[in-house]
Structure 1
Amino acid sequence: MENRGILLSEKEKEIIKSCFYMALEEGLYHFNRIGLDAGEEDIKGILSKFGMPDTEIEKFMKEAAW
């Protein structure tokens, strides 16, 4: 079977991952803003399921001031 994936450099992968996390964080912010109140543990669980490292999750939680 032929692999038709796009080959990306490590830098490109990091840029894409950062953009994905920013979009996910923005979505979670608006999720809470419209009143679908997610608790801190819910937010941590969602970010973790999407592969965000624990150190980044803690940084996000401090910056977002949930």
Structure 2
Amino acid sequence: KVFNETAKKQMEELQALKVKLKLKEEESVQFLEQQTLCKDEASDFTIILEEMEQLLEM
């Protein structure tokens, strides 16, 4: 009986860890998506600044 209770508790802990891992994976994906968006925005700003520099040099 003690073995079954221990095994059940360990299975519950394992399930809880799986849920936490899934949440962390989702957070990681969201972070990477946000990072990509920020890089894209930075690239856009760089292009705009370069175009403004060219216009000012005219």
Q: Which has the higher contact order (CA 8 A, sep 6+)?
A: 1
For the superposition of Structure 1 and Structure 2, which TM-score range results when normalised by the shorter chain? 0.3 to 0.5
Scaled by the length of structure 2, the TM-score of the pair is 0.46
Radius of gyration: which is bigger?
Answer: 2
Structure having the higher helix fraction is: 2
Scaled by the length of structure 1, the TM-score of the pair is 0.41
